Amino acid sequence: MDVRLDYGKEGLEISLPDHLDVKTLAYQSATPIAQQPGQTDRQALQEVLKHPTHASPLSEIIQGRSSACIVICDITRPVPNQQILEPILETLLAGGMAPSSIKILIATGLHRASRPEEIVEMVGEDIAAKYTILNHDAQDRKQLVYLGKSPRGVPMWINTHYMEAEMKITVGLIEPHFMAGFSGGRKLICPGIAGLETIREWHSPRFLEHPNAATGQLSGNPVHSENTWIANRAGCNFIVNVVIDAYRRPLKFVAGDQIYAFEEGAAFCRDIVIDRVKHPYDIVITSSAGYPLDTTSYQSVKGMMAAVPIVKPGGTIIVAASMSEGIGSKEFASLFERHSDIDDFMQAIMSPDYFVMDQWQLEMLAKVLKKAEVKVVTDGLPAETINRLFVESAESVEIAVAQALEKHGPQATVAVIPRGPYVMPELAS
């Protein structure tokens, strides 16, 4: 059996033994907007801008406002930014705003700054040339405004450019997220344009170790409720979010109120990305969804987490990720030097005095390793480096499968999630 995994920019073809009964998980059937009768992406966008959810039309909201800040995702999210920005910018200009009064702010969170060529890739040459485009820097206090502490005691630092704008707009992608339930909506503000101190506390064990801090879970999820509170405190006049299919074609646009439009999009996304299985599996093969999400070992954890709901305790997770940019931040890489194993790390982070930026991703890896072993296939890092990251390197998916079959037996059950974290596996009740 041949299967194609999302891997880098080109994908990865794998071949599995014919005797295996393999379950492949995928999106539910949905027709892209552009293939619907009498419909185009542009028309669908214009419609939600004119008839948004729990909000006045964008053209009305901007009246009397002389400046705008539009927040967009960074390169790690495959958002059709240019497609979405064009009608938004046209509306702002038609309402009397000058291009010089409009800033586009890249919600980097704690990711690296977007490179000039990546900015052009994200927004197109015309927008990149015409508008001021800024990278958020969570560690630069000069870029941040302090809004006090949330009821849970999280210090709220938010980007100055955003807070000073008369019109605040966020543009994002709604997809499953392994901590916050779903990406999009409030996440563009926290962590997108929040300060390090804010993200540090929001990503601390008191939030992440909660059982409801999980993929697809919004109700009772403290990660979701906290960043929603922070985003509301910062304020947002209008959001535009998109749900895309496996080929990154828009399936649905939502716009309007930061809470209600996001919830509408998340409900639609849930119906599309859930794939239910009858039983857990001995072996789960997954990916980190290919470029741009699988460029680092840090991001690959999201692919591992995708397999957790359906892998048997003591099972094997095989993840393929290009890791073309290496391990991740120097802080994340340092964690593997600081700690002998995952148990040592987990013991350390429970101290309120312990903090290393990006530690939360290793905390997520701990949840994976608590349930299953992990084998990693990549051409971005050498085997000896992978083996230092508390996981096991494998030369290929085929070799990793053969090793797993030796452990679980020739009749082991196998599932494949080609799109990794973009699909939400669920055990049927």
Catalytic residues: 111, 177
Read off the tokens for 296: 């680092």
Q: Rounded CA gap, 408 and 173, in Å?
A: 38
Beta pairing class for 132-135 and 102-107: parallel
How far does CA 54 lie from the centroid of its chain?
25
Task: Evaluate whether 246 touches 421 at the Cβ level (below 8 Å).
Answer: no
Neighbouring residues of 359: CB distance < 8 A, sequence distance ≥ 6: 203, 332, 335, 345, 349
Q: Rounded CA gap, 345 and 6, in Å?
A: 31
Task: Evaluate whether 300 touches 380 at the Cβ level (below 8 Å).
Answer: no
**The residue type at 42:** R
Q: Measuring CA to CA, how many Å separate 68 from each of 45, 165, 229, 399?
A: 19, 5, 22, 53
Read off the tokens for 61: 């909201």
Is residue 138 helix, strand or coil? coil
- Tell me how long the chain is: 429
Q: Rounded CA gap, 142 and 187, in Å?
A: 22
Tokens 């209008």, residue?
A: 238
Task: Evaluate whether 160 touches 229 at the Cβ level (below 8 Å).
Answer: no
First to last CA, the chain: 29
